[in-house]
Each structure stands twice: as structure tokens, then as C-alpha cells.
Amino acid sequence: MASNPIVTTILEHSRISSPPGTIGERSLPLTFFDITWLAFPPVHHVFFYRFPHSKSHFLETVVPNLKHSLSLTLQHFFPFASNLFVYPNVDDFGVIRKPEIRHVEGDYVALTIAECCLNFNDLTGNHPRECENFHPLVPPLGDLIKMSDYVTIPLFSVQVTYFKDSGISIGMTNHHTVADASTRLCFLKAWTSIAKSGGDQSFVMNGSPPVLDRLIDIPKLDEYRLRHTGLETLYKPRSLVGPAKKVRATFILSRTNINQLKKRVLTQIPTLEYISSFTVTCGYIWSCIAKSLVKMGEKKGEDELEQFIISVDCRSRMNPPIPSTYLGNCGAPCITTIKNVVLSSENGFVIAAKLISEAINKMVKNKEGIFKDAERWHDGFKIPARKISVAGTPKLNFYDIDFGWAKPQKYEAISIDYSVGGSVAINASKESTQDFEIGLSFPNMQMKAFADIFNHGLESEI
């Protein structure tokens, strides 16, 4: 969906590189965790900040600082200023060359400075808002370049947008092969630290520099993922696209709500000794989505299936564990499958929460290690079913991302707008890390149906 020039005016296009001579030529091979994401669309996020200052102050003070601090940050996170090199062809020996992230002197991050005439307070609310109003706030990645024996893809871009006398948004787009949510948060914490201090000395001395070594080296799994990824279908849209006439809304599950949901599950399934806040949240949202579609008149056969997909961070679960600051992807898909008639039933939430809990425990508590059955992790995707995936995790608090204007007024995961089947953004709340924010993107009628079921379900727990 192209940006509406009436909504957003581009003020400047810049190319931000690390300081000369700080990176040079470097490369980083993809692991099987990264390779999984080769053919997926980019990831889009927007942070909104209160900024009741003039446009001249924005251009003369904020923009130069963001440019300078981004440049300094890139020297510590060179993959963000690099290009992805993919080699789709098989050589004479039937071998596929592993894709790599490659940086040469002068590589850059595309930075767009823009101005928006939309209402800042409306965009940062929790109520249903038109999805298409957010799309002009995130930048495209740039051009995919096809050569005879390889393809290059930019990995990261940024857009900073000014709202008259009210706020700033910082939109980011990254190719998923360079970073998962944990790596993005690590990068953003470094950038904000450098932006607030004016230099990188404090970050170098007291921060958490990324671990760039490829600590995950399992050639058999690398080769397996390469052969099952479909490199010939590399997907990289110039701009964010998604179904028209959708709205996005944010729902809050308070700690009280979460504890009530836990109590209901543990009361009905007394053999279940423990269930996490994240698991009951996933089960509740999943069942509410299914019930909202039934309320709208959707009819499903008795044997039709629903799937819920969670990414399990493997960093701390490897043997030996790898640092939380490891740069790259390190998530394993955990898939829960259930019949639609069960999920949308009165007791669907409890059953869904139980099954999600069992699926996670089976993966993380496997006595043979987290990589047991890794070659079959993606088999579940082949099952005909409506798939709902989770974007984000409450363990990573993106409301800590403060460039010096206080914490964000709102954080939005824009990518859920075009997720096939559906996607749910689950994050720690702005007000309290004990509460969860649930971000959804649906057609307006479905959003209304979901809100009714979501609120009624919580009221019945009181």
C-alpha cells in the first residue's frame, strides 16, 4: 500500500553509515534459525513518543542526534548496516551456498525524515484505528538486486516522522534474517543509550554489546533448512501491504485478569500444577478469536483444525546456553493444534491453554535437548488449518526504549496487518510489566465481535 502524500510528507532521505573505518569488510553466515525466515516478509514496528515542540526544534536538534547516535550504534551492530547475500542456484555438485550477511565500507541504513498530518492522540489510542493510517509511518527496506548468481537484500531501514507540536514516531523495518525480537531490543537499547549520552563510551563500558560469533553451528540443520525454504520465492515487498479495510486495536489483560484466568484453568484441570501467564493469555485470546468468527456466522466442519504458533527462544535452553545478547535468530516454532468446534466451545479457552502449555513443556523439557526433532519442527505447518501466530513476548519490554523524550506513548507491531491467517502481538503493558498488551488487526466487524467476547469473558470471571 503506497504512502498517501496527503498524510505523510517526506522531508529528507539520508544514508547513515558507521564512522569511516570502524567496520570495513565483514561477513556473517546465516544459521538454520535465520534461514527459516528467508522467504518471509519484513518486520515492521512503530514507536510513538510525546514531543510537544516545534518542527524547527525537531529538525535542528532531534534529527542530527538520531543520525549521529545511529551511526555510532551501527559500528557495534554491523549486520544492521549490511546486505543479505543469497545464492539461489545449486552448484555442479548439488550444493547450495549458505546465505550470508555481508558488509563493505560505505554500506548504510536508509533513514527517512517525514512529517504527518494525522492526529497523534488518535494513533496512540487503544481503540480501533484504520490500519492504513500506520503504513506510511514505516519505511520500505529498499531494492532487492538480482545478479546472475546471487541476490542482495537490504536488512534495515528507519523512518522518523514529526507530528505538529504533539509527537514523533520512529518506524523501523528489518528483514527477519538479521534479527529476532531479542536482537532488535538489544540494538534499540544500545541506540537509545548512545542517543541520550551523546557518545558510545557509556555503552562500551556498561552496556551489553552483541555477541556476533556464530555460536550455533549445526551444518546438518543448515543444509536441511536451505533445501526446504524455497529460495526461488524470495519475498520482499517495497512497502507494507495488507488487506484493506482492517482496523487495529489494543486490549489490556491486567494482572488481576490473568490471575483469574489462571485460577479457572487450574480449578478445571487440578492435575495441572502450574500454568504461566503467557500461556493463559494465548489460550484466552485464541479462543476469543475463534468465538468471534462463529459470532459473525462462520461455519466450520467438525474436523476442521486451528493452529496456534509460538516462537520459543532457545538461547537459555541450549547446552551450553548462549548469551541473551547473541545477534540473530534463535527461536523454535511451537505449534498447538485443536479442532475448531472445541476451541470455539464454552470451555475452549481452558482446553487451549492446557494444550499450549503441554506443547511448550514438551519442547523445552525434552531430555534429549532442545534440538531433538528439529528437522520436524516445521512439519506442523503442512497441516491444513487456520494458523494464528504470536508476535512479541512480554519478557521483552519495548516500552523501555527511551531516546530521551520519556518512554513511548505507544508501541505498535505493524507486521500483524498482513499476516496470513492472523497474528497476535503480545507485549508487556506500558503501565505495568505485570499487565499484558494484546495487539490485533481485523476487519472492523470481527474486531467488534472479538471485543464483545473478550470483555464478556473477563466479566464472567469476576
* Grouped pLDDT means (10 residues each) for the chain, 462 residues: 68 97 96 92 96 97 98 98 88 80 97 98 98 95 87 96 97 96 97 94 87 92 83 56 80 97 95 92 97 89 91 93 96 95 94 96 85 87 93 94 96 90 92 94 96 93 57
With contact defined as beta carbons under 8 Å apart, do 285 and 343 qualify?
A: no
pLDDT at residue 24, rounded to an integer: 92
Cα separation, 104 vs 38, in Å, equals: 21
Closest by CA to 12, choosing from 161, 134, 188, is 161
| Amino acid in position 405 | W
> Where in the chain are all domains bearing CATH 3.30.559.10?
8-233, 246-461
Cα separation, 229 vs 191, in Å, equals: 33
With contact defined as beta carbons under 8 Å apart, do 287 and 352 qualify?
A: yes
Architecture of domain 8-233: 2-Layer Sandwich (3.30)
Question: At 391, which helix (H) or strand (E)?
Answer: strand 386-391
Total residue length of the chain: 462
Helices 348-364 and 277-295 cross at an angle (nearest 10°) of: 140
Count each helix (H run) and each strand (E run) in the chain, helices first. 12, 18
Beta strands in 178-219 (DSSP E): none
With contact defined as beta carbons under 8 Å apart, do 423 and 388 qualify?
A: yes
User: CATH number of the domain at 246-461, please?
Assistant: 3.30.559.10
Closest by CA to 453, choosing from 348, 304, 357, is 348
Pairing, β 43-50 against β 129-130: unpaired
Closest by CA to 88, choosing from 192, 235, 249, is 235
pLDDT at residue 2, rounded to an integer: 43
Beta strands in 70-128 (DSSP E): 83-86, 100-103, 109-116
The residues that are catalytic are 176, 402
With contact defined as beta carbons under 8 Å apart, do 178 and 141 qualify?
A: no
Residue entry with cell 548469551 = 323
Measured CA distances, 80 to 68, 86, 175, 266, 422 (Å): 15, 16, 9, 44, 28
Task: Kindly state the DSSP code that residue 190 receives in the 8-state scheme.
Answer: H
pLDDT at residue 282, rounded to an integer: 98
Kindly report whether the peptide bond that precedes residue 209 is cis, defined as omega within 30 degrees of 0: no
373 by Cβ neighbours in 10 Å (0-12 / 13-18 / 19+) ranks as middle
pLDDT at residue 235, rounded to an integer: 53
